[in-house]
Amino acid sequence: MQWETVIGLEIHAQLATKSKIFSGAPTAYGAAPNTQACAVDLGLPGVLPVLNAEVVVMGVRFGAAIGAIPQGRSVFARKNYFYPDLPKGYQISQYELPIVGKGSVEIVLDDGTTKRVGVTRAHLEEDAGKSLHEDFHGLTGIDLNRAGTPLLEIVSEPDMRSAREAVAYARKIHQIVRYIGICDGNMQEGSFRVDANVSIRPPGGELGTRAELKNINSFRFLERAINFEVERQVDILEAGGSVVQETRLYDADRDETRAMRSKEEANDYRYFPDPDLLPVELDAKFVADVVAGLPELPDDRRQRFSSVFSLNAEDAALLTSSRELADYYEAVVGVSGDARLAANWVMGDLAGALNRDGLEITDAPVAPAQLGGMLKRISDGTLSGKLAKQVFDAMWSGAGSADEVILSRGLTQITDIDAIARQVDEVLAANQSQVAAFREADDKKRAKMLGFFVGQVMKATAGKADPKQVNRLLREKL
């Protein structure tokens, strides 16, 4: 039987504010337990929340980025439930009137076509603390550092039909929140958390019962978790069973989803407007200012890169995958003037070196101006590709600008024909027997043997000879 997969995602993006959503306590990750929780975060008797204006700005930025510019009123509500790491016994969230309403994003599918995925809403809320079960021997520890950290919960429509589409959508949201500077996107530290609602149905049929998958902390696991879950549901339905609506945890080690401890009954969160907080009334001028301050969005930038820099779709997408990378690339082009060459180096040697050393683009030891300066020396013939790699390595190790490296190490390419010819003669004189063998060999063997002589000449010139000239001269003289 044929089944259609239906996926909706709930993404919690931790907003990159310095202080919490309703208190002045810092939000930095990794501090000693309970050192970043103030009286408000602890939910002490008598404390009151005060909204951090920065989160409203961030909410508006996100809305604008998905074609849902916020306007009018949004309201904070209390979501009531008991849990040890939820200090007040309720979470302050938004319910009936979220800050961001309906919007959408465009994703690129594997076949290169595009698809619009709807965003139902995005709302502001506070995070809970953490329950720590290790190291407490039969007890549970509570760390409230994370309590009150601002989150933007982004809820999609059930528009995705495969794990690949879900990943493409999650990546797109990830890209957007990082571009507009509202979230650092760090999935390992939990700054960007994805929950997937997965169900299957006969193609075009009624929506099936869904399972909510949690505990997914990478895009790879998102794809695997959904695929596992779809297979599990297919097996159940094809065996005549029915899917239970439940929350399932993804276990990356076993690559499977497992039901969480089943709850006896559905939670009734008893939402109601939080009487401690006033409704947020967005002023049109405020919104206009925030929208005006938005950076170029990733889709716009990708299109501009394609047209202005004549990059193919794939390269343009790769170079605009993050704002930092795109900024880097544009800066390199600005200095070197050669967009194609810049793309090759940024996606090639630079990406390789970053990958090798485990660095982010923002930590690259070679600044865009340095790389751009080096590319100029390739364009003007000063450097061969091979020499450029040496210059690049030197700059990577902190040796200064390309011109400084070229000067101090004498790495200028030898293009003087006479100088190269002298070296070729010396090599041939020193290798009489190989010369003899070459002359007796057939064409096929000669091609191989030529490499030996080229190598010897390059060695003698410390790699500075123009390899094209060397080849030409050797053929003539042999």
136 touches other proteins by CB under 8 A: no
Nearer to other proteins by Cβ, of 280 and 335: the residue is 280
268 touches other proteins by CB under 8 A: yes
279 touches other proteins by CB under 8 A: no
445 touches other proteins by CB under 8 A: no
130 strand-pairing partners: 143
Shortest distance (Å) from residue 267 CB to other proteins: 10
Nearer to other proteins by Cβ, of 136 and 441: the residue is 136
CB 126 within 8 A of CB 79: no
Identify the three-state secondary structure at position 342: helix
- Exposure string for 375-414, b = 16+ CB within 10 A, e = fewer: bbbbeeebbbeebbebbbebbbeebeebeebbeeeebebb
- Candidates 8, 14, 19, 88: give the one binding other proteins (CB under 8 A): 88
CB 81 within 8 A of CB 99: no
Shortest distance (Å) from residue 116 CB to other proteins: 33
Give the Cα separation of 291 and 121 in Å (integer).
Answer: 18
275 touches other proteins by CB under 8 A: yes
CB 9 within 8 A of CB 195: yes
Nearer to other proteins by Cβ, of 51 and 437: the residue is 51
Residues 6+ apart with CB under 8 A from 85: 128, 129, 130, 131, 142, 143, 144, 147
407 touches other proteins by CB under 8 A: no
132 touches other proteins by CB under 8 A: no
Shortest distance (Å) from residue 199 CB to other proteins: 23
CB 55 within 8 A of CB 180: no
- Candidates 68, 99, 142, 243: give the one binding other proteins (CB under 8 A): 142
- Candidates 28, 67, 72, 89: give the one binding other proteins (CB under 8 A): 89
| Number of neighbours of residue 241 by Cβ within 10 angstroms | 10
Give backbone dihedrals phi and psi of 9, rounded to 5 degrees, phi first. Answer: -120, 145
Number of residues that bind other proteins (CB under 8 A): 28
Shortest distance (Å) from residue 272 CB to other proteins: 6
47 touches other proteins by CB under 8 A: yes
281 touches other proteins by CB under 8 A: no
| Number of neighbours of residue 432 by Cβ within 10 angstroms | 9
Q: Applying CB under 8 A, which part among 47-55, 225-233, 377-385, 391-399 lies near other proteins? A: 47-55
- Candidates 8, 63, 87, 148: give the one binding other proteins (CB under 8 A): 87
150 touches other proteins by CB under 8 A: no
CB 151 within 8 A of CB 13: yes
Beta strands in 157-273 (DSSP E): 192-201, 211-216, 246-251, 256-259, 272-273
Give the Cα separation of 221 and 302 in Å (integer).
Answer: 27
260 touches other proteins by CB under 8 A: no
Q: Are strands 90-94 and 76-80 parallel, antiparallel or unpaired?
A: antiparallel
277 touches other proteins by CB under 8 A: yes
Give the Cα separation of 143 and 341 in Å (integer).
Answer: 51
75 touches other proteins by CB under 8 A: no
- Candidates 26, 57, 80, 454: give the one binding other proteins (CB under 8 A): 80
- Candidates 3, 33, 42, 437: give the one binding other proteins (CB under 8 A): 42
DSSP secondary structure letters along 22-91: SSS-B--TTPSTTSS--HHHHT-TT------HHHHHHHHHHHHHTT----EEE-EEEEE---TT-TTSEE
- Candidates 46, 240, 358, 410: give the one binding other proteins (CB under 8 A): 46
Identify the three-state secondary structure at position 136: coil
- CA distances 149 to 19, 32, 130, 179, 218, Å, are 8, 16, 12, 20, 21
Q: Are strands 246-251 and 211-216 parallel, antiparallel or unpaired?
A: parallel
Shortest distance (Å) from residue 176 CB to other proteins: 30
**How is residue 135 written in tokens?**
């190291």
User: Please, which of residues 413-442 interact with other proteins by CB under 8 A?
Assistant: none
- Candidates 1, 82, 410, 442: give the one binding other proteins (CB under 8 A): 82
Q: Applying CB under 8 A, which part among 77-85, 239-247, 282-290, 294-302 lies near other proteins? A: 77-85
Nearer to other proteins by Cβ, of 1 and 32: the residue is 32
Q: Applying CB under 8 A, which part among 5-13, 97-105, 268-276, 378-386 lies near other proteins? A: 268-276
Identify the three-state secondary structure at position 135: coil
- Candidates 1, 32, 48, 239: give the one binding other proteins (CB under 8 A): 48
43 touches other proteins by CB under 8 A: yes
- Candidates 28, 50, 259, 260: give the one binding other proteins (CB under 8 A): 50
Nearer to other proteins by Cβ, of 276 and 296: the residue is 276
Q: Which residues bind other proteins (CB under 8 A)?
A: 39, 42-51, 78, 80, 82, 84, 87-90, 142, 268, 270-272, 275-278
